[in-house]
Structure formats: structure tokens, C-alpha cells
């Protein structure tokens, strides 16, 4: 019977990288919070809770804390709430459901087409193509009674243009 290999050897590299880039900087930050290091000099002294006592006495700290709370509410809670509301509207029957779906998905569907139009016009000189905006957006409207007649007339128009 074959023994299953242990996953532990595969975990050493990710754990080492995590320790190097996450755990070590976190612990170093906590250690520096209790020191008087200015970020430049090679020397630093342990000051304990003195930094925190000075921080809580500073009125600018409370202003910065308030600004951060406003930022967190505006830029985290509002977009998340709006996204959840839009997801609910797109997945439940509500009045104007089709309009909501079209207005939500149209930019996603239309943008590749618009980009391709610009790319074709940008690369046309490189590919030695004589292409104008009229060629890109030209639509042949053929009034006909049957699809076969429309294809025949459209083919004739395209042949005349290519001469």
C-alpha cells in the first residue's frame, strides 16, 4: 500500500515568505512603537508607553482619527452597500429590472468593441490598410422583400465599393 506524501515540505517556503514579509514587519512595528527611534539614526532607546501617552494628549491625533473613521465609512461601507444593493436588484424581480441589467452590463460589453475600433484605426497605417472612420462605421441598409434578395443587393453594393 502506498503512503500518502506529507504536505509539510510544501508548506515551508510559503510559511517562510509569510514570516519574512508579514510576521517580521508586524513585530518590528510593535517594537518600534515602544522606542524613540526617529527612522534615521542607528540608535534607539526603549521608552515604553511614553509614545502612547504623548499620542493621546495630542489634539491632532483625534482629528486624524476622525478623518480615518470618515474615510473608512465613505470608502468602505458605502461602496460595499451599493454593490450589495445592486446585486440584489440584478437578481430579484423589481420594476425596471431590464433597464438596470442593461445599464450595468452595457459598459462591460461595449468597451471591448470600442477599444477594437480604436485599435483598428490606430494600426491601419501599419498594416497598409486604407481605412477611414466611415469604413468602420459604415452600415449598408438594403430594403428588400426577402433575405436572399437583400444578400444579393448587399453583395452588389460591396463589389462596387471594392473596385
The reported pTM is 0.43
With contact defined as beta carbons under 8 Å apart, do 44 and 35 qualify? yes
The model's pLDDT over 111-154, given as tens digits with 9 standing for 90+, comes to 887 887 777 666 666 555 555 555 555 555 556 667 777 778 77
Q: Report yes or no on 68 lying in a domain.
A: no
Q: Report yes or no on 111 lying in a domain.
A: no
Q: Report yes or no on 155 lying in a domain.
A: yes
Burial 119-143 (b: 16+ CB within 10 A, else e): eeeeeeeeeeeeeeeeeeeeeeeee
The model's pLDDT over 68-97, given as tens digits with 9 standing for 90+, comes to 999 998 999 889 998 898 888 778 887 887
Q: Is the pLDDT of residue 105 over 60?
A: yes
Q: Is the pLDDT of residue 62 over 70?
A: yes
Backbone angles phi and psi of 107, in degrees to 5: -60, -35
Q: Report yes or no on 113 lying in a domain.
A: no
Q: Report yes or no on 96 lying in a domain.
A: no
- Residue 3, C-alpha cell as written in the block: 503512503
Q: Report yes or no on 95 lying in a domain.
A: no
Q: How many structural domains are present in the chain?
A: 2
Range of the domain at 149: 132-163
Q: Is the pLDDT of residue 11 over 60?
A: yes
Q: Report yes or no on 88 lying in a domain.
A: no
Q: How far apart are CA 106 and CA 113, in angstroms?
A: 11
Amino acid at each position: 500500500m502506498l503512503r500518502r506524501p506529507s504536505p509539510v515540505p510544501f508548506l515551508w517556503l510559503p510559511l517562510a515568505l509569510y514570516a519574512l514579509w508579514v510576521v517580521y514587519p508586524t513585530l518590528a512595528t510593535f517594537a518600534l512603537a515602544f522606542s524613540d527611534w526617529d527612522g534615521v539614526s542607528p540608535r534607539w532607546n526603549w521608552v515604553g508607553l511614553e509614545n502612547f501617552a504623548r499620542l493621546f494628549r495630542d489634539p491632532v491625533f483625534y482629528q486624524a482619527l476622525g478623518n480615518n473613521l470618515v474615510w473608512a465609512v465613505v470608502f468602505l461601507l458605502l461602496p460595499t452597500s451599493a454593490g450589495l444593493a445592486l446585486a440584489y436588484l440584478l437578481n430579484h424581480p423589481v420594476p425596471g429590472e431590464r433597464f438596470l441589467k442593461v445599464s450595468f452590463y452595457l459598459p462591460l460589453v461595449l468597451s471591448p468593441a470600442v477599444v477594437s475600433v480604436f485599435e483598428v484605426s490606430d494600426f491601419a497605417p501599419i498594416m497598409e490598410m486604407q481605412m477611414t472612420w466611415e469604413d468602420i462605421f459604415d452600415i449598408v441598409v438594403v430594403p428588400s422583400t426577402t433575405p436572399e434578395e437583400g444578400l444579393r443587393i448587399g453583395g452588389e453594393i460591396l463589389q462596387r465599393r471594392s473596385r
